[in-house]
Amino acid sequence: MQSIKSLDFKNMVEGGTKSLDINRAKIDELNVFPVPDGDTGTNMSLTINSALRGINECESESLSELALAFSKGALRGARGNSGVITSQIMKGFAVALKDKDEMTARDFAESLREGTEIAYGAVSKPKEGTILTVIRVMAETAIAITKKNKNLEIEDFLNQIIASGEDILGKTPDMLPVLKKAGVVDAGGKGLLTIFYGFLNALTGVEITAESIPDGNPQAVQTVSDDFFDNDYENITYAYCTEYFITNINSKTTLSDIDVLRDSLMQIGDCVLVIGDLELIKVHVHTNTPDKALKYALKLGELDSLKIENMLQQHRKIVAAREAEKPKEQKEIGVVAICAGKGLADIFKDIGCDLIVEGGQTMNPSVYDILNAINSVNAKHVFVLPNNSNIILAAGQAKELADITVSVIPTKFVPEGFSAMFAFDPNASVADNEKNMLEAIKNVKTAEVTHAVRNTRMNGFSIKDGDIIGICGKNVKACGSNICDVVADTINASKSDTTEMVTLYYGEDVNEDDANELLSNLQEKFPDIEFAAYFGGQPHYYYMISLE
C-alpha cells in the first residue's frame, strides 16, 4: 500500500483507538509526570475515542473532511495534559491533508511534522522526555526517510517511524529524573506509540489484541518501582487539574485576549494549555485556585464541559491500590461462612469471619464459589461454616479441591454458625478449634418462621398457601395468619426446660419497630427466658430463632 484513502483512514483511526483502549490501564500505571495521578492512558483513550466519533459523524467521504472531523473530535474530547497534546498532534492531519484525496507516506510525514509544531506551540513550557520528544523524533524520522524514498510503502514507513519512536521512548528516563526515579518510560510517549501500533495493524490486517502491541525497547523499564509513590507528594505542587471549553465567545474577544488568558493562567498554575480560536477554546491547567481559572475564562465567553479533579486524591487512590496489591502475611487459621442477608453477614464479620459467601436456602453457592473463598482467605488452614444442610456436601467437595487444608463444620443453620464462631479461638490449634466448634453447635436449637407456598397437611396442621408457619428441625411447630403469634407459638413448642436465651434474627421483610414490639411481647410471655433481636436481612424467613 502506497497511499491511504478515506476508508483506510477510518480503519486506521479505529485501529489506533482499539489499541489504546486495550492498553490504557498499562499506560495509566506508567504515569508519573507531570504528576503521579495515573490517568494518562485513560485521558488519551477518551481523546482518540472522541476523534473517532468525529469521523463517524462526518457525512463526507472526502479524506480532507475526515481528517478535519478527526481533528475537531480530538479537540472536543481532549482530556488531561496528555489528551490535549494528543489532540494537537492529530490536528497535523487536518492541516497537512487539506484538499487531499489520499495520503502518501510523504503526506503522512508532513502531518506528523505539522502536528509536532502545533503541539510544541500549544505547551507553555515544553519539556523534553515527554510525548513531545517522541512525536518530534518520529516526525523527523518520517521526513528524512520520505526524502530518500518517494515511493515508500506505508507499512515500511510506519515500521520505521515506530522503531524510531521506541528508541527515543527508551531514552526518556535519561531526560526526566522523575521517570528515572520511578523506573518508567514516559506514559504519554508510550500511549502515542500504542496508537501508531494500532494504525499499522489496522492497515495491514493484523488483529488488534493486547499481545499484538510489543513491549517496545527491552532496555526501557516498564513498571513503576514499588517505592516511587510512597513519598512523592512533592511532585504535586498544584492540586487541581482544571479543564473546560470556552464557547459562545464574546464578539469583542480577540486572539490577543486568548494570549492574555494563557499568561494569566501561568501565574496561578502549571501545565497550561490554551488552544483553539475565536469559535472554540480548550483550556487545561493545574492550579490551587480553580475559581480564578474559571473567572479569567468567563471574561471571554461561556464555560462548557467543566472538569476539576483533585490530583492529590488520585495519588492517594494509587497508593492505596498498590498497598492492597502487596502480598500479605499468611495467617494460621481463617474462617469462611455462608449466609444470605446483610445483617447476618455483618454479624459473622464482627465475630471474626474472614470472608462471607452469599448463599442459603433456595440460593446455594457452587463448589467453586466456596473454593474461591477458601483460597482467598490467605490462611494455612480454613474452617468452613455451610450454615445450611444443602450446602454441606458442596463445602466438602470444595475442601478436596482447595490448595490448603480445610475443615468443614457441618452447621445446618446460621445460629449454629454463630455458636461455632463464639467457640473459635484464632490462637488455638486446628484440632482444638474443630473440637470446640463441633461441641458448640450441639448446644443451639434453631427455629424459623416463614410462609407456606402450597396447601399441605403436616405434623397435624392443615396448612394453606400463604399461611405463616413455624418450623424447628424438620417439623412444623406452629401455623397461623399472624407472624407474631406464630413466632410465640413456635418458641413455646420448641423450647425446653433448659432454654435460657432466645435470639431473633429478623429478615428483610420485617422492620425494626415490629421486631422490637415482638421482643417486648415475648419477654412478657416468657419471663424466665432472656430475649434479644438483631437485623439479619435474610430473604424468605421473617424470623430465624436461636434457642440456647
Tens digits of residue pLDDT in 491-536: 999 999 899 999 999 999 999 999 999 999 999 999 999 999 999 9
Q: Quick one: pLDDT band at residue 229, thresholds 50, 70, 90?
A: very low
pLDDT at residue 164 tops 90? yes
More confident call, 204 vs 228: 204
pLDDT at residue 231 tops 50? no
Collapsing DSSP states into helix, strand and coil, what is residue 182? helix
pLDDT of residue 276: 80
CA dist., res. 278 & res. 103, Å (int) = 29
CA dist., res. 75 & res. 72, Å (int) = 5
pLDDT at residue 254 tops 60? yes
Best mean pLDDT range from 39-43, 185-189, 461-465: 461-465
Collapsing DSSP states into helix, strand and coil, what is residue 271? strand
pLDDT at residue 230 tops 80? no
Tell if the pTM clears 0.75, that is, is over it. no
Q: Quick one: pLDDT band at residue 226, thresholds 50, 70, 90?
A: very low
CA dist., res. 164 & res. 341, Å (int) = 59
More confident call, 392 vs 28: 392
The residue behind cell 489506533 is 16
Cis ω before 34 (30° cut-off from 0): yes
Collapsing DSSP states into helix, strand and coil, what is residue 454? coil
pLDDT at residue 217 tops 80? no
Residues 356-366, mean pLDDT to the nearest whole number? 80
Helix ranges restricted to H, 31-153: 40-57, 63-77, 80-96, 105-122, 131-148
Cβ–Cβ < 8 Å for 500, 530: yes
Specify the DSSP element, H or E, that contains 324: helix 311-325
Q: Quick one: pLDDT band at residue 233, thresholds 50, 70, 90?
A: very low
CA dist., res. 276 & res. 189, Å (int) = 23
CA dist., res. 510 & res. 446, Å (int) = 19
Q: Quick one: pLDDT band at residue 325, thresholds 50, 70, 90?
A: low
Reading the block at residue 16, the C-alpha cell is 489506533
Residue 311's contacts (CB-CB under 8 Å, 6 or more residues apart) are 35, 37, 236, 238, 239, 240, 241, 286
Considering only CA atoms, which of 17, 45, 48, 71 is closest in space to residue 201? 17
Reading the block at residue 157, the C-alpha cell is 514507513
pLDDT at residue 316 tops 60? yes
Residue 25's contacts (CB-CB under 8 Å, 6 or more residues apart) are 41
Best mean pLDDT range from 228-232, 274-278, 480-484: 480-484
pLDDT of residue 311: 79
pLDDT at residue 235 tops 50? yes
pLDDT at residue 455 tops 80? yes
Collapsing DSSP states into helix, strand and coil, what is residue 464? coil
Residues 193-220, mean pLDDT to the nearest whole number? 77
pLDDT at residue 220 tops 70? no
CA dist., res. 399 & res. 189, Å (int) = 49
Beta-strand runs (E) in 147-292: 240-247, 269-276, 281-287
pLDDT of residue 322: 66
Reading the block at residue 367, the C-alpha cell is 463448589
pLDDT digits (tens, 9 = 90+) for 279-291: 888 888 889 999 9
Collapsing DSSP states into helix, strand and coil, what is residue 336? strand
Cβ–Cβ < 8 Å for 357, 338: yes
Residue 227's contacts (CB-CB under 8 Å, 6 or more residues apart) are none
pLDDT digits (tens, 9 = 90+) for 4-21: 999 999 999 999 999 999
Q: Quick one: pLDDT band at residue 96, thresholds 50, 70, 90?
A: very high
Q: Dihedral of the CA atoms 107, 108, 113, 115 (nearest 10)?
A: 120
pLDDT of residue 384: 95
pLDDT of residue 7: 94
Q: Quick one: pLDDT band at residue 221, thresholds 50, 70, 90?
A: very low
pLDDT of residue 408: 95
pLDDT of residue 228: 39
pLDDT of residue 543: 94
Q: Which structural domains are found in the chain, ordered by start?
A: 3-221 (1.25.40.340), 236-319 (3.30.70), 327-440 (3.40.50.510), 445-547 (3.30.1180)
pLDDT at residue 65 tops 50? yes
Average pLDDT, the chain: 87
pLDDT of residue 183: 74
pLDDT digits (tens, 9 = 90+) for 373-432: 999 998 999 999 999 988 999 999 999 999 899 999 999 999 999 999 999 999 999 999
pLDDT of residue 138: 95
More confident call, 247 vs 181: 247
